[in-house]
Amino acid sequence: MDYRDEAIIRILARHAHLSSRALSKMTGLPISTVHRRIKRLEAAGVIKGYKAMIDFEKTSKPIGALLFVNLAEVIPDKGHIPKKDVINKLRNFDDIEEIIEVQAYSFDLILKARLQSLRRLSALMEELRCIEGIEELASAIIVEETILPPPIVSKKAETK
């Protein structure tokens, strides 16, 4: 992967809907080259898919929340519950749209959830507290999400 591939990836990460023509203009590469590189990046699994940018306030799930999960080291009479087991249980919740593993001071996972109401958030938190292996749970309401514009592609990347 070279700087041209990196430029295409950085742009698509923020604006997946852009056409090959638009990417061509932004990167200075011919359309056929952009198209060929995207196909190669998809085949290699670098680009796993594309995501629509949604105005969730216009949907049935306008509430966004980040849930901070601290996993238990050891559960009395049960021992250690592997992180992958907890994650597999979390995958079953329709309200959870992302699971992010982190190295942080007081939590191990960040969950991004979309919900109909604050009451549903409260109910979800109670359901999650019942999962074996989850020790502590905290939440933060997402007030606003800002999608940044695509990065400016410069020839400086070429020299790296």
Predicted local confidence at residue 160, as pLDDT: 46
CA distance 1 to 9: 10
Predicted local confidence at residue 157, as pLDDT: 46
Q: Is residue 149 assigned to a domain?
A: no
76 with 125, same domain: the answer is yes
Q: Is residue 160 assigned to a domain?
A: no
124 with 138, same domain: the answer is yes
Mean pLDDT for the stretch of residues 65-69: 98
Residue 79 has pLDDT above 50, yes or no: yes
67 with 135, same domain: the answer is yes
Question: Is this structure's pTM higher than 0.85?
Answer: no
Looking at residue 130, the DSSP 8-state letter turns out to be: T
List the domain range (segments joined by +) for residue 60. Answer: 56-142
Q: Is 7 exposed, middle or buried (0-12, 13-18, 19+ CB in 10 A)?
A: buried
The per-residue DSSP string of 38-91 comes to: HHHHHHTTSS--------GGGSS--EEEEEEEEE-S-BTTTBPPPHHHHHHHHT
> Percent of the chain having pLDDT more than 90?
71
pLDDT band for position 145 (cuts 50, 70, 90): confident
Could you tell me the CATH number of the domain that includes residue 34? 1.10.10.10
Mean pLDDT for the stretch of residues 38-60: 92
73 with 136, same domain: the answer is yes
Q: Is residue 127 assigned to a domain?
A: yes
74 with 133, same domain: the answer is yes
- Which of 29, 52, 75 is the last residue before a domain boundary? 52
Both structure tokens of 22:
């638009």
95 with 108, same domain: the answer is yes
Comparing 129 with 53, the larger pLDDT belongs to 129
Domains held by the chain: number: 2
Mean pLDDT for the stretch of residues 52-57: 86
